[in-house]
Amino acid sequence: MQAASETQQSSGFPRGIAREVTPLSMWGGDTLVYKSIFLLSLAALPLVAVVNWRLRGVVAWPQLGLAAATLVGSLLCHWLSVLGRRDVAAGLLVGVIWCSATTYALNSGYGMHSSAIFMYLPCVLYTALFFGLIVASAELALTITALVLMYLAEESGQLGGAAQFAREGTNFNFLIGVVLTSIGTLVVGVIYHRRVEREAARVVAEAEQRRVAMERTQTAQAQLETAHAALVAANAELAARGNARRQEIARAGRELELLHAALAKDLPAARRAGSAAMTALLAALEELASYGSRPLRNERLDLSALAREAVRGLRARPDCAHISFEVESGLRAFGDREMAAALLRHLVERAARACRGESGPWVHVGAGTLEGLPVFFVRDNGPGMSPAQREQLFRPFGQGTAEPDTAAACARLIAECHGGNLKVESAPGKGTTFYFSLPA
């Protein structure tokens, strides 16, 4: 049957369904064919007997033998098919019908004028359905050979042919044979047609499911490629930020070196200014050096609490008692507690110094966004700074001052040690805002 199925693929069916629709026995259509032939033969037996008895007064045993052989053969084929021997059953069916028709045509003497030869047509059809076109073509050649031999036998007088049929046969029997054969052939054609439609619909549905699955796969692949591109872009951005951070740290190191050099240069001026300035200068240098050398002891931080501690210390000072301090609640970060407290202390104290001479001075500590990124801020309503002052803000010893303003430099170094940054916005008469970022 496998070979027959492969042979049938060249029979004109679409390639996608050729293997599905052939052979007929692959999806049980053969059992319906056997049942149909059994019922037709069962109906033919009494009909042939009654007609011949009434018309001729005798029972036509050759015709009854043909119908009985077909009936028994269909029963046997059905039994073999149920047992799973479908190849054997299909071959037996075709063989029984073909041999019975040939035997009847020869024994009756009617030859090719016998109605039984019309049974050759369903035989060829069954063979095509069960075994494919190649085997059916071979059977057709055998059938044509048998008909030619019958013709030659009639011409030579070995078979009576049409003359013998006119003497012994009846047109009614001939009609019954042709009608039953035609009905059987039609039944098989209808069965096969419905089976083909059903299988074709199934194959089309499966093809549609595969198409939908392919489209989903392509969509998922496109999404995966998009996600991959986004990941590559994110990695590139992270790498760029890492490079920028390394550059900032390197710049901070260079500025620290400049700080040391400036300190050495301004040390004589600091001595002339007095011991208090000298002490402040050395303390600032020691603090800056400690931030770059000590390891971080990171933990969860409540920046609001740390800012309030810095504010409490300032409120105790007479020069800052009149300043209004506002600290937002819920400021959280992750970092070194001691260094974060120093960062807030420096910025809050610097903001207080900047605005204490104003009318209604205030300092605000809170959180917001800068350039789309979350940041914390310390804002005051002091006099603000000019661009030149902002440029020198992180270079406290750049001008050789004896009283350096190290708050901004210390705060930025602490932020950079945590992997963050510190920026300032200020303008004359508009106050100053320090933005800094720490890990969340």
Could you list the mean pLDDT of each consecutive 10-residue stretch along the chain, which spans 440 residues? 39 39 49 69 68 63 73 79 78 80 79 78 79 83 88 84 71 71 74 71 83 89 90 88 73 60 54 53 59 72 92 88 91 89 91 89 92 91 87 63 66 84 90 90
Q: Which pLDDT score, from 0 to 100, does residue 13 have?
A: 38
Partners of residue 301 on adjacent β-strands: 333
Token pair recorded at residue 195: 């089976």
Between CA 375 and CA 381, with CA 379 as vertex, the angle to 5 degrees is 160
Q: Which pLDDT score, from 0 to 100, does residue 30 have?
A: 61
Q: Which pLDDT score, from 0 to 100, does residue 9 have?
A: 38
Q: Which pLDDT score, from 0 to 100, does residue 10 have?
A: 38
Q: Which pLDDT score, from 0 to 100, does residue 241 have?
A: 81
| Rounded distance between C-alpha atoms, residue 183 and residue 34, angstroms | 14
Domains of the chain plus CATH, in order, are 2-216 (no CATH), 274-436 (3.30.565.10)
pLDDT digits (tens, 9 = 90+) for 89-123: 777 877 877 887 888 778 777 777 777 777 788 87
Q: Which pLDDT score, from 0 to 100, does residue 98 have?
A: 84
| Rounded distance between C-alpha atoms, residue 14 and residue 4, angstroms | 16
Q: Which pLDDT score, from 0 to 100, does residue 328 have?
A: 92
Q: Which pLDDT score, from 0 to 100, does residue 15 have?
A: 36
Per residue, the 3-state secondary structure of the chain, as one string, reads CHHHHHHHCCCCCCHHHHHHHCCHHHHCHHHHHHHHHHHHHHHHHHHHHHHHHHHHCCCCHHHHHHHHHHHHHHHHHHHHHHCCCHHHHHHHHHHHHHHHHHHHHHHCCCHHHCHHHHHHHHHHHHHHHHHCHHHHHHHHHHHHHHHHHHHHHHHHCCCCHHHHHHHHCCHHHHHHHHHHHHHHHHHHHHHHHHHHHHHHHHHHHHHHHHHHHHHHHHHHHHHHHHHHHHHHHHHHHHHHHHHHHHHHHHHHHHHHHHHHHHHHHHHHHHHHHCHHHHHHHHHHHHHHHHHHHCCCCEEEEEHHHHHHHHHHHHHCCHHHCCCEEEECCCCEEEEEHHHHHHHHHHHHHHHHHHHCCCCCCEEEEEEEEECCEEEEEEEECCCCCCHHHHHCCCCCCCCCCCCCCCHHHHHHHHHHHCCCCEEEEECCCCCEEEEECCCC
Q: Which pLDDT score, from 0 to 100, does residue 51 have?
A: 65
